[in-house]
Structure 1
Amino acid sequence: MSAVTLNPPATAPERKDRKPKLSGKHLTIRVLQYLALALYLIFLGFPLLWLISASMKSSGELNSLTANLIPQDFHFSNFSEALQKQGLVRSAGNSIFVAIATTILVIVVSLPGAYALARFKGKIRAAGTGWILVSQVFPVILIIIPLFLILKQVGLVDNLWGLILVYTTYTMPFALWMLQGYVQSIPVDLEEAGAMDGASRLKVLMGIVFPLLKPGIIATAMFSFVSAWNEFFFALVLIQSPENYTLPITLKMFVGGEGKVALGPLAAGAVLATIPSIIFFALLQRKLASGLMAGAVKG
């Protein structure tokens, strides 16, 4: 018998991970996309850069006709003046307390309400949806006097808790509308599967629905915090004592009685007032991204 030689199987050529080359058309589109993104970032960030620049300029340079982004002389004394004269630190503490308390109350109250509006059908849902829509129609100026009289009768005028209740009520409709959309995006089949496994409704909500609602809760918390942090009109009417002033009211005090504005300290105070909200947004932004990924996996 003749020996049979077995040839080794031909090895497949090694594949090298190579990035696909972009054609001229696709490369142009990609460059235009990045250019548009850069212009958009400049558009968003330029007011903040100008505010920071104004906070380090002298009063003479601010009142001059020339407008330069880079100050001629850096005056950091505007920050110390803003912190010392108007009680900015105390007002920042009040604003942080009011904004955090408002955010917690809005989330705690609107979360079950949004679930009920999204899942239950009937007259209650129709009435709730109608209330959400109607509450966004009337301007604030129409309700401020009745609101002031009601809060005065219960002793909540010039009280931070009264301001928190007002902010919670004012923010609640939009928060309900936001969370309702997130609840509707969760398939009902997941809840039914949990119920078939013997889980109670509360366990289904805590173990299935609420974890998937994490991105919506964080987005609603961001909106509630920023709304309470920046609100001016309610605080102007309802808060009277300087020790209860929030940041927007304190920043108003940089405008003198004759209309003379301390532009440098006002800009410095505005820069300091933006720091807590930026930190809050930066902290929640990571949780928002992780919540979106977790929701995609669980869904």
Structure 2
Amino acid sequence: MTPASRAAAARRAGRAGQYLALLCYLVFLAFPLLWLISTSFKPARELASLHPTWIPGNPTLANFRQAFEEQPLLQAAANSLIAAVCAAVICVVIATPMAYVIARRRSRLATAATGWVVISQAFPFVLVIIPLFLILKNLRLINTLSGLILVYVVWALPFALWMLAGYVRAVPRELEEAAAVDGAGRLRTLVSVVAPLLAPGIAATALFAFITAWNEFFFALVLLKTPEKQTLPVVLTHFLGAEGVADLGPLAAAAFLATIPSLIIFAIIQKRITGGMLTGAVKA
């Protein structure tokens, strides 16, 4: 075997190893979802079996019917959707100009904002929930979706700001200088030149803010009291009995339905995430 053929064989082996590792990783990520889907279609007898199987022997929709009959899933899903969409939109609208300022100007404000991003991520939920509750109580925002949306925006904004600042730094300054030569101001440059190039970053940030708000449980549990205001993660806990025993079939069915919106949102905007920045440059 010649050195060239040995090198080619080594490259093929390395590539096969990479694909194998990627396949194992995908199986690892997909295992919980596949098991959840399988459990949601199993009848009670199979769920109680000591020898569970991957594929339900007698698939049934009874778990889904029971889940909708026992809990107000549609109302809870609507509350979660409103909170998540509003939080994502507001977060992106606020974070985009702030990220531009932080990335383009070296000032005390930019330094303070960067420090705020780092420090805020170190705060546990329990540490801030009491002062947050008191503030929202004084603002009369307890047990309202508006108060919950405000909390989600504040909580997701630091990381969203950090994400978008990285995308802004990747935009060539020459494009902004060319816009300035043409007479465009800072705001016009941000809207007409920088923003189209940030489309992948804005989409990724919006997805992050949406999923963070959609899956959040602790703030919603503390701030929302009446059943008609509760979000989907809170309602899912109602399938647990008084002694912590789960009604596994309906719980799996409801949890499976709760994952669908995130998958749909990701499928819609994934083209924007992977579109790259050259497309934005051509549009600009």
TM-score, length of structure 1 as denominator length: 0.88
Aligned to 1:61, which of 42, 46, 50?
Answer: 46
- Listed as ranges, the matches of 1:102-121 within 5 Å are 102-121=87-106
Rounded Cα–Cα distance in structure 2 between residues aligned with 1:291 and 1:147: 39
Rounded Cα–Cα distance in structure 2 between residues aligned with 1:51 and 1:101: 29
Rounded Cα–Cα distance in structure 1 between residues aligned with 2:104 and 2:8: 49
Question: What secondary structure does 2:31 align onto?
Answer: helix
**2:46 corresponds to 1:47:** no
Which amino acid in structure 1 is aligned with residue 84 of structure 2? A
Aligned twin of 2:173: 188
Question: What secondary structure does 1:68 align onto?
Answer: coil
Aligned to 2:122, which of 126, 134, 137?
Answer: 137
CA deviation string 1:105-141 (max 9, x = no partner): 1001111111111111221112111211111122110
Structure 1 residue 23, shift from structure 2 partner: 3.6
Structure 1 residue 104, shift from structure 2 partner: 0.5
Rounded Cα–Cα distance in structure 2 between residues aligned with 1:287 and 1:268: 31
CA deviation string 1:225-280 (max 9, x = no partner): 00000000000000111101111001000011232210000000001011111000
**2:264 corresponds to 1:283:** no
Q: Which moved more, 1:28-37 or 1:249-258?
A: 28-37
Aligned pair count?
278
Structure 1 residue 205, shift from structure 2 partner: 1.3
1:50 and 1:176, CA in 2 relative to 1: closer, same or farther beyond 3 A? same
Larger radius of gyration: 1
Structure 1 residue 61, shift from structure 2 partner: 2.4
Aligned to 1:243, which of 220, 228, 238?
Answer: 228
- Listed as ranges, the matches of 1:1-299 within 5 Å are 23-295=8-280
Structure 1 residue 86, shift from structure 2 partner: 0.3
Aligned twin of 1:18: none
Which amino acid in structure 2 is aligned with residue 183 of structure 1? V
Rounded Cα–Cα distance in structure 1 between residues aligned with 2:158 and 2:84: 17
Which amino acid in structure 1 is aligned with residue 231 of structure 2? T
Rounded Cα–Cα distance in structure 2 between residues aligned with 1:135 and 1:253: 31
Structure 1 residue 292, shift from structure 2 partner: 4.1
Rounded Cα–Cα distance in structure 1 between residues aligned with 2:194 and 2:94: 16
Q: Which moved more, 1:155-164 or 1:124-133?
A: 124-133
1:133 and 1:231, CA in 2 relative to 1: closer, same or farther beyond 3 A? same
Consecutive unaligned residues in structure 1, runs of 5 or more: 1-21
Q: Which moved more, 1:128-137 or 1:285-294?
A: 285-294
Which amino acid in structure 2 is aligned with residue 72 of structure 1? G
Structure 1 residue 201, shift from structure 2 partner: 1.9
Question: What secondary structure does 2:245 align onto?
Answer: coil
Query: Identity, % of aligned pairs?
Result: 52
Rounded Cα–Cα distance in structure 2 between residues aligned with 1:250 and 1:84: 13
CA deviation string 1:186-218 (max 9, x = no partner): 122211111012222222111111111111101
Question: What secondary structure does 2:275 align onto?
Answer: helix
RMSD: 1.7
Question: What secondary structure does 1:253 align onto?
Answer: helix
Rounded Cα–Cα distance in structure 1 between residues aligned with 2:60 and 2:278: 45
Rounded Cα–Cα distance in structure 1 between residues aligned with 2:107 and 2:9: 57
Q: Which moved more, 1:187-196 or 1:106-115?
A: 187-196
Question: What secondary structure does 2:239 align onto?
Answer: coil
